[in-house]
Amino acid sequence: MENRRPLIAGNWKMFKTCSEAVETTRRLLTLLEKNVDTDVMIAPPFTALAAVANIAKGSLISVGAQNLFWEKEGAYTGEISAPMIASAGCKYVIIGHSERRRYFGDTDQTVNRKIAAAIQNDLIPIFCVGESEKERESKETFSVLDKQVKKGLENFSSNDLKTLVIAYEPVWAIGTGKTATRIQAQEAHAFLRSKLVKCFGNKLAKSIRILYGGSVKPNNISELMAMPDVDGALVGGASLDAETFRKIIDFQT
């Protein structure tokens, strides 16, 4: 890991009321060491963002949103804009998560627009990519990742993407209990980094953090983090419990 600071991000998905999210955040703050060498982010539901950000302010924990809409404002009932997320105290935003693509119609093109909105509002985008089980079995993993990166990052300069984080989340490993082996994860991460080299040059490619997401647990985080191109994790279910999430943050390689 070329001086890339690890990032362990918790995606709470559609779990936790505002008071539950606040309680979990408080608990996590009491468990974390003061000198953690890892960046930590939690992404509660929209309803809890401001309350959680208020508690986490000035601490080791940053707050992220799970999605955004690309317009600044307008007649878009039910949507949340980048300025709204930023004003709630967010630093990060997850974009293009496989569940957004699968259930809510996110495409490579809309993901591209969402990344642009995040960057314009000084939010750090966590750009999610990954293949389905069928695509992996058909040996299409690299072509799927190639297309998602190409279309998702189209028309950006390397200067635009200085803060970008990529999350590789094989769709077949999300919420299934299946995890990519550390070799599978490393292969995909190395491919993504080589794609970044081609598109944006060596300097940016070496600085971008690539997270692994897909059934990350305390018992597999260390072997994943030992891989040279794995710079952190996007954690789902295991981030909902403060004690379990802390064990992931405290990984040893």
Q: Which residues are catalytic?
A: 97, 169
Phi, psi of 99 (to 5 degrees): -70, -35
Hunting for tokens 């300025």 — which residue is that? 83
Q: Distance (Å, rounded) from C-alpha 132 to C-alpha 202?
A: 29
The DSSP string of 162-223 is TT-EEEE--GGGSSSS----HHHHHHHHHHHHHHHHHHH-HHHHHHSEEEEESS--TTTHHH
Between CA 129 and CA 193 the distance in angstroms is: 13
Residue type, 141: T
User: Which residue type does 109 have?
Assistant: Q
